[in-house]
Amino acid sequence: MPLALQAAIEEIAANIEIPSIRTAHSELSEAYRRGEGSHFRNKDQTIAYLLARMPATYAAVFKALLDLRERLPEWTCKTLLDLGAGPGTASWAASEIFPLQTVHLFEKSFSILSLGRKLAAYSETPALKSASWSEQDLTRPFELPKADLAILSYVLAETDCTDLIQKLILQGTTLLIVEPGTPKGFSTILALRKKIVEWGAYIAAPCPHQGECPMSSWCHFPARVERTKIHKILKEGSMGYEDEKFSYLAVTPFAPPPLEGRLVEKPLKLSGHVKLTLCTKEGTCEQRTISRKQKELYRQARDAEWSSPWM
């Protein structure tokens, strides 16, 4: 996360009582497990979200945005919509990747929105510092500003946004959806993917094709999250990092440049050869073994990671 965001979180959390934030974190986690989503009931719960979940959702959105930028080198985002913005996580990630000029955030919970606005005041990106924040339920009608990119990050598990997504697609907005990398998160994305293609948009990432998904398991990717001291305390873990697993879909109103394939599993790097699982532009899921003898390809395979594009 950018230093300005880390400093802002540290300052906001400077006087917290660890036991009460830990309780708030457990309450949030239990609510997620019960499928209730994030109904922030008190200030401690919003702070627990900043400390324990925001670093992970930030890492996932940041990684998905990097993939999108790599797929669309000629495209950029100046105007951003952050929908179900929470504390503005996706806007912070986008501000590190695109030259944002205007940012509109929509969020139904006033408590997390207020905290997000406080955080944004610390940003070094003028567009984020002066962003517009609206208290808005996404399932109710509202005026949708024109934008280059709209992001729905970890929102669809909590609310159905099908109508809103259709509106964005018909309006020609590029869209990024990020969900937890679980069978449930992926099935939400898969169901929308079919509709989105029918509505005339193109898939830019992660899929290298527009056809049916050939995966026999759920398509998901890892994003590395460095753990802070307080993160370790709240999550009762001792490792210095964790991998947030996420599923995502990025769609555009125009056809993206062709792509041979994408690694949809961690590559197995063995001595003299690398085993890859690729989703291909033909719409298949294939295992390939690249040996040292295939010089250039072997070099590419050695450097590749789970989620890398395959050229």
- Name the site residues for ligand SAM (rule: CB under 6 A): 37-38, 54, 57, 84-86, 89-90, 107-109, 112, 137-139, 153-155, 158-159
Encoded tokens for 127: 């567009």
Identity of the residue, 96 or 292, whose beta carbon is nearer to ligand SAM in the bound complex: 96
Encoded tokens for 304: 């590749």
CB 46 within 8 A of CB 112: yes
CB 225 within 8 A of CB 59: yes
Identity of the residue, 52 or 127, whose beta carbon is nearer to ligand SAM in the bound complex: 52
Query: How far apart, in whole angstroms, are the C-alpha atoms of residue 186 and residue 192?
Result: 10
Alpha-helix runs per DSSP H in 121-255 = 126-129, 162-170, 183-198, 229-235
Encoded tokens for 220: 């998901």
Q: How far is the CB of 38 from ligand SAM (least distance, A)?
A: 4
Query: How far apart, in whole angstroms, are the C-alpha atoms of residue 148 and residue 273?
Result: 42
Q: How far is CA 186 from the centre of its chain?
A: 13
Q: How far is the CB of 61 from ligand SAM (least distance, A)?
A: 6
Identity of the residue, 119 or 230, whose beta carbon is nearer to ligand SAM in the bound complex: 119
Q: Rounded to 5, what percent of the chain is helix, strand, coil?
A: 40, 25, 40
Identity of the residue, 105 or 278, whose beta carbon is nearer to ligand SAM in the bound complex: 105
Task: Give the Å distances, CA to CA, from 221 to 164, 205, 285.
Answer: 26, 12, 15
Determine whether 67 is exposed, middle or buried from the number of CB atoms within 10 Å of its CB (0-12, 13-18, 19+): buried
Buried b (16+ CB within 10 A) or exposed e, 221-240: bbbebebbebbebbbeeeee
- Residue number with the shortest CB distance to ligand SAM? 86
Look at strands 79-83 and 149-153 and give their pairing: parallel
Identity of the residue, 140 or 293, whose beta carbon is nearer to ligand SAM in the bound complex: 140
Q: How far is the CB of 67 from ligand SAM (least distance, A)?
A: 16
Q: How far is the CB of 148 from ligand SAM (least distance, A)?
A: 18
Identity of the residue, 142 or 241, whose beta carbon is nearer to ligand SAM in the bound complex: 142
Q: How far is the CB of 125 from ligand SAM (least distance, A)?
A: 17
Identity of the residue, 166 or 294, whose beta carbon is nearer to ligand SAM in the bound complex: 166
Q: How far is CA 253 from the centre of its chain?
A: 20
Phi, psi of 187 (to 5 degrees): -65, -30
Amino acid sitting at position 18: I
Q: How far is the CB of 240 from ligand SAM (least distance, A)?
A: 22
Q: How far is the CB of 254 from ligand SAM (least distance, A)?
A: 26
Identity of the residue, 181 or 256, whose beta carbon is nearer to ligand SAM in the bound complex: 181
Q: How far is the CB of 32 from ligand SAM (least distance, A)?
A: 8
Encoded tokens for 99: 């030259």
